[in-house]
A and B are shown apart, each in its own frame.
Chain A
C-alpha cells in the first residue's frame, strides 16, 4: 500500500492540469467531477495508506519513496522523494479529507460562478502543493510546496479579479508572506552551507550530533525558519494579510486560511523540532510570539462586524495557541490542536458561507439574525463548531486539545505561569467573541430575508465536519483521566518527550476546572452583552479602544508608514531609473558627437582646403621637430 504514496500529491496535480488546459471547453458538471474527484481519490489513498501505517508500522517508524533525482550540483543532489511518518500522516489525512469535504461544498457554493473550472483548477493545484509540502523528504521540495501554496493563495484570494480590492488583498498576502519566505530561504542557504544537504532526516541527525545546545548557528537557523513560519501562519509581526485575505470565496478561506496553508508554519517547526530544541532561546521566542498573537487577535476579533473577519482573527489566535504549544515543548499537543482546529474552523467557515449565501451575500453580522429556526442544519453544525472553538468542556474536540496546551504551558519545564495566564485569558476572550458571533448571527430578530437554502452537498460537508468537531477529541484524553493517547503514541518517536516540572493529576484537574469555568462564563458574558443588554456594546463600539482593536492594533497603519511610504517614495524619484540613464546616456553622447562632427562637413571647398593645409602643417611640425 505504501507504493501508492506518490499518487497522493500527483492526482490533484493531474486534476489541475486537465482543468487548466480543458476547463473552458468541458461541461460544468464534468469539471466539478474532476475537481472534486481528484481530491477524493487522494483522500481514499490517504485512508488506505493510513490504515496500513497504523496496522503495521514500517521499520524505523517511517517510509520513504524516491521518485527521481531532481538535479545534481557538486555534492548537493536533492531528489523528488516522499517521506511518510506519523506527522506527515496526520497532515495529509487532514489536508485530503477536509479538503475533499470543502471541494464537495464548493461544487454547490460556486455553482453559479462563471470561473467554476478555474476555481477547481486552483484548488487542485493547492492540494497538490500542500501535500508535496508535508510529504517532502528534503527542504528544497518542501520549499517548492511552500511557494506553490503561496501562489495558490494569491490566485484564489484574487479569484474575483474584476474587483480591484481583491487584487490588492491578494497582492498584500503574497508580499507579506514573501518577507517570511525570504527569511526561510536564507535559513535554507545556511543549512546547505553547513551540512551540504537539505535532506530533513540527515539535517536533524547531523544537527543533534554536531551543534551544541544554545549555539549561535542553531539560534540563527531557527530564527530564520521561524521567520518563514510566521509569514505563512500569519503570526506576529506578519499577521496583517490574513484578515484582508477574506476577500476570496468562502471555501478558499476555509481550506487555505483555516485548515491547511496557515498551518504550514506549524508543520515546519514541528518537522525541524531538533533544530529548535537545540536553541532554547528560539523556542522561547516561538512561545512568546504564540502567546502575544493569540491575545492580540482575540481582542481584535471581539470588535469585528464582518463574520469572516471574526473567523480570520480567530484563526490567527488559534494558530498562536499552536505556536505556544510548540514553544513550550508540547509537540503532540500542538499537532493535536492543529487537527481539531482544522475540523471546527473549516466547519465555521463553511457555515459562515452558507449563512452568507442565505443572506444575499452580505457579510455584516449586525444585519443578520434569527436564522436559528430558518437554517437548522447550518445552525446546529455552527453551534457545535463554535463550542469546539470556545473549548466547552468534555463534549467538544477543542476542549481536549486546548486544555492539553494550557496544561503544558504551565507545567512544562519550558513553560511559565505567564504563558499560562496569556492562554487562559485568550480562552476567555475566544469564548466571548465566538458566542457573540453566534448570537448576533442566529439569535434575535431576523433583519434580512433568506435568499438561499443549502442543498445536499453543503449539508453533507457540514454534518461530517460537525461530527468530527464533536468526536475528534476523543482520541487523546488528558493524562489525569487515564492513558488513552492515540495521537501521542503515533507521534512519540518523532518528538522529544515533554518534561513536566509540575506533576500530579489533581493539579491538572484543578487547572481544567479553572478553564472550564472561564469558558462557560464567557458564554454568559456574550449572552448578556449581545442579547440582554446591547446598548453597552453599541456604546463601546464608538470608543477609541474598540476602533484600535478593530484595525488589528494598528499594524496596517504602522507598516504603511514604515515600509510602504518610503518604498513608494523612492520608486517615484527613481522613475527614470538612474542606472538606465547611464546606458541611454552613452547613446545620447554618441548622437551628440555625430551632431558635432557633422558640422565639420560644410560642403564648401575652401573649408576642406583649409583642413588640408592644417593637416600639412601638423605633419611638417612632427617631421621637423620630433
Chain B
C-alpha cells in the first residue's frame, strides 16, 4: 500500500509541473484533472473514501469542466498560444523559483523538528483507520451545522454574483425612443393585401 501512495504522489507532482509549464490552456487544464485524480487516490489510501469521491465528482468533474468551458468560450487562437509561449521565458523563473525554494526549505526544517516539541509527531503513522461517509455526515450536520448553512449562503452569493458579472452589458433605451423602431414589413403587406 505504501508504494501506491508514493506512485500517486509522484504522478500528482509531475502532472502539476506540467500544468504550470504548458502554454495551451486546454492542455494545462487536462493535466490539472490528472493531478486531481492522483490526489483523490491519495485520499482513498489515507482512509477518506467519501472525500476521494467528492474530489473526483466536484473538483475534477464540475470545477475543471467549468474552466474548460470558459477557456473555450474565450476562443484563444493559435497566435494567442504562440504569444503566450513568448511570455514564458526561462529568465522569469529565477526569482520566483528562489523564493518558493526558500519556503519549501523552511517547511522541511519545520518537519525535521527544528522547533522541538510541536512537530515530533511527524513520524507518527497514519491512515490505519477508515472514516466512513456516515461519520462525516454525522459530524457535518451536528457539529458543523452552522458551517453548512454558511457554505450554502456562500454558494448562493457565488451564483448571483457570477450571473450578474457574466451578463453582457445591454444598452438601456428609453421606452419612448423604442417606439420609433419601424413596424414589421409582414404586417404592412397583410394590411395592404
Kindly state the interface size class of chain B when it binds its partner: 10 to 19
Does B106 have its Cβ within 8 Å of any Cβ on chain A? yes
Given A621-B106, A624-B109, residue A613 in contact with residue B99 (CB < 8 A): yes
Contacting residues, chain B, for A214 (C-beta < 8 A): none
Q: When the two chains form their complex, are residues B115 and A610 in contact, meaning their CB atoms are under 8 A apart?
A: no
User: In the complex, what residue of chain B is closest to A621 when comparing beta carbons?
Assistant: B106
**Pick the contact of A617 from B96, B99, B109 — CB < 8 Å?**
B99
Please give the distance in Å from A215's CB to the nearest CB on chain B. 82
A617 close to B115 (CB less than 8 A): no
A620 in the interface (beta carbon within 8 A) = yes
Please determine whether B95 and A617 come into contact, CB atoms closer than 8 angstroms.
no
Distance in angstroms between the alpha carbons of A624 and B117 in the assembled complex: 12
- How far, in whole Å, are A62 and B17 apart by their CA atoms in the complex? 113
Inter-chain CA distance A617–B99, complex, in Å, is 8
Contact assessment for A624 and B110 in the assembled complex, using a CB-CB cutoff below 8 Å: yes
- Whether a CB of chain A sits under 8 angstroms from the CB of B155 is no
B114→A624 contact, CB < 8 A: yes
B100 part of interface (Cβ distance < 8 Å): yes
Say yes or no: A610 contacts B106, CB within 8 Å: no
CB within 8 Å of A: which B107-153 residues? 109-110, 114-115
Nearest-neighbour CB distance to chain B for A625, whole angstroms, equals 8
Chain A residues with Cβ below 8 Å from B95 are 610
Known contacts A624-B114, A624-B115; A614/B106 CB under 8 A: no
Partner of B103, one of A610, A620, A623, A625: A620
With both chains docked as a complex, state the minimum distance between the C-beta of B68 and any C-beta of chain A, in angstroms.
23
> Nearest CB to that of A620 among chain B residues?
B106
CB pair A613–B106 under 8 Å, yes or no, is no
Q: Is the CB of B99 within 8 A of A610?
A: yes
Looking at the complex, which one of B96, B100, B106 makes contact with A624 (CB distance below 8 Å)? B106
What is the chain A residue whose CB lies nearest that of B114?
A: A624
Q: Complex: how many Å from CA A610 to CA B106?
A: 17
Shortest A307–chain B CB gap in Å is 92
Residue in A closest to B107 when the chains form the complex, CB atoms: A620
Contacts of A625 in B (CB 8 A): 114
- Report the nearest B residue to A606, measured CB to CB: B96
Q: Which residues of B contact A614 (CB under 8 A)?
A: 99
Contact partners of B103 in chain A: CB under 8 A? 613, 616-617, 620
CB-CB < 8 A to B109: which residues of A? 624
- Chain B hits for A621, CB < 8 A: 106
Kindly report which residue of chain B lies nearest to residue A616, judged by CB atoms.
Answer: B103
| B58 proximal to A (CB < 8 A) | no
Instruction: Kindly identify, within residues 569 to 626 of chain A, every residue whose CB is under 8 Å from any CB belonging to chain B.
Output: 610, 613-614, 616-617, 620-621, 623-625
B102 within 8 A of A: yes
Q: Across the interface, do B102 and A617 meet the contact criterion of CB distance under 8 Å?
A: yes
In the bound assembly, the distance between CA atoms of A140 and B154 in angstroms comes to 85
**In the bound complex, how far is the Cα of B47 from the Cα of A521, in angstroms?**
140
**Which B residues are in CB contact (< 8 Å) with A617?**
99, 102-103, 106
User: Interface centre among B95, B103, B114, by most A CB within 10 Å?
Assistant: B103
By a CB distance below 8 angstroms, the chain B residues around A620 are 103, 106
Q: How distant is the Cα of A610 from the Cα of B103 in the complex, in angstroms? A: 12
* CA of A616 to CA of B96, assembled, Å: 13
Interface positions, chain A 277-334, Cβ under 8 Å from B, are none
- With A617-B102, A617-B103, A624-B115 in contact, is A610–B96 under 8 Å at CB? yes
Give bound CA distance, A471 to B100, whole Å.
113
C-alpha spacing A614/B95, complex, angstroms: 11
Residues of A close to B114: CB separation below 8 A: 624-625
CA distance A624 to B116 in the complex (A): 10
* A617 to B96 alpha-carbon distance, docked (Å): 12
Residues on the B chain within 8 Å of A623, using CB: 115
Q: How far is the CA of A509 from the CA of B109 in the complex (A)?
A: 120
Q: How far is the CA of A610 from the CA of B100 in the complex (A)?
A: 10
Residue from B100, B106, B109, B115 with most neighbouring chain A CB atoms (10 Å):
B106
Enumerate chain A residues within 8 angstroms of B96, measured Cβ to Cβ: 610, 613
Assess whether A613 is in contact with B100, with CB atoms less than 8 Å apart.
yes
Contact with A along B22-45 (1 / 0, CB 8 A): 000000000000000000000000
- Report the Cα distance A625→B109, complex, angstroms: 10
Rounded to whole angstroms, the CA-CA distance of A625 and B102 in the bound complex is 14
Q: Which chain B residue has the least Cβ–Cβ distance from A609?
A: B96
Contact flags (1/0) for B89-102 with A, using CB distance below 8 Å? 00000011001101
Chain A 468-509 against B: per-residue CB contact (8 Å), 1 yes, 0 no?
A: 000000000000000000000000000000000000000000
Within 8 A of A (CB), among B74-104: 95-96, 99-100, 102-103
Q: Which of A160-208 contact B (CB under 8 A)?
A: none
Measured in the bound complex, the distance between the Cα atoms of B96 and A623 in whole Å is 22
Q: Which residues of A contact B106 (CB under 8 A)?
A: 617, 620-621, 624
Q: Chain B's nearest CB lies how many Å from the CB of A456?
A: 96
* B92, closest chain A residue (CB): A606
Residue in B closest to A625 when the chains form the complex, CB atoms: B114
Q: In the assembled complex, how far is the CB of residue B87 from the closest CB belonging to chain A, in whole angstroms?
A: 11
Q: How far is the CA of A623 from the CA of B110 in the complex (A)?
A: 10
The smallest C-beta distance from B34 to any residue of chain A, in angstroms, reads 25
Alpha-carbon distance between A624 and B114 when the two chains are bound, in angstroms: 7
CB distance from B152 to the nearest CB of A (A): 30
Residues from chain A with a CB closer than 8 A to the CB of B99 are: 610, 613-614, 617
Bound Cα distance from A617 to B103, whole angstroms: 6
Residues of chain A from 214 to 255 with CB closer than 8 A to chain B in the complex: none
State how many angstroms separate the Cβ of B44 from the closest Cβ of chain A: 31
Closest CB in chain B relative to A85 CB, distance in Å: 95
Residue of A nearest to B103 (CB): A617
B102: chain A residues at CB < 8 Å are 617
Complex Cα spacing A373 to B108, Å: 124
A397 to chain B, nearest CB (A): 104
A517 to chain B, nearest CB (A): 110
Q: How far is the CB of A600 from chain B (nearest CB, A)?
A: 16
Task: Give bound CA distance, A623 to B119, whole Å.
Answer: 13
Minimum C-beta distance from A615 to chain B (A): 11
Give chain A residues whose Cβ lies under 8 Å from the Cβ of B100.
613
On chain B, the residues within 8 Å of A624 by CB distance are: 106, 109-110, 114-115
CA distance A617 to B100 in the complex (A): 9
How distant is the Cα of A623 from the Cα of B95 in the complex, in angstroms?
Answer: 23
Complex Cα gap A625–B110 (Å): 10
Q: How far is the CB of B117 from chain A (nearest CB, A)?
A: 13
CB-CB nearest in chain B for A623: B115
Q: Which B170-188 residues sit within 8 Å CB-CB of chain A? A: none
Task: List residues of chain B with CB within 8 A of the CB of A616.
Answer: 103
Q: Report the Cα distance A616→B95, complex, angstroms.
A: 15
Shortest Cβ gap from A611 to chain B (Å): 11
B108 CB → nearest A CB, Å: 11
Q: Roughly how many angstroms separate A457 CA and B100 CA in the complex, as a whole number?
A: 106
Contacts of A613 in B (CB 8 A): 96, 99-100, 103
Interface residues in chain B, defined as those with a beta carbon under 8 Å from any beta carbon in chain A = 95-96, 99-100, 102-103, 106, 109-110, 114-115
Closest 3 CB pairs of A and B: A620-B106, A613-B99, A617-B102
15 contacts between A and B (CB under 8 A): A610-B96, A610-B99, A613-B96, A613-B99, A613-B100, A613-B103, A617-B106, A620-B106, A621-B106, A623-B115, A624-B106, A624-B109, A624-B110, A624-B115, A625-B114
A residues whose Cβ falls under 8 Å from a Cβ of B: 610, 613-614, 616-617, 620-621, 623-625
What 7 additional pairs, Cβ within 8 angstroms, besides A610-B95, A610-B99, A613-B103? Answer: A614-B99, A617-B102, A621-B106, A623-B115, A624-B106, A624-B110, A624-B115
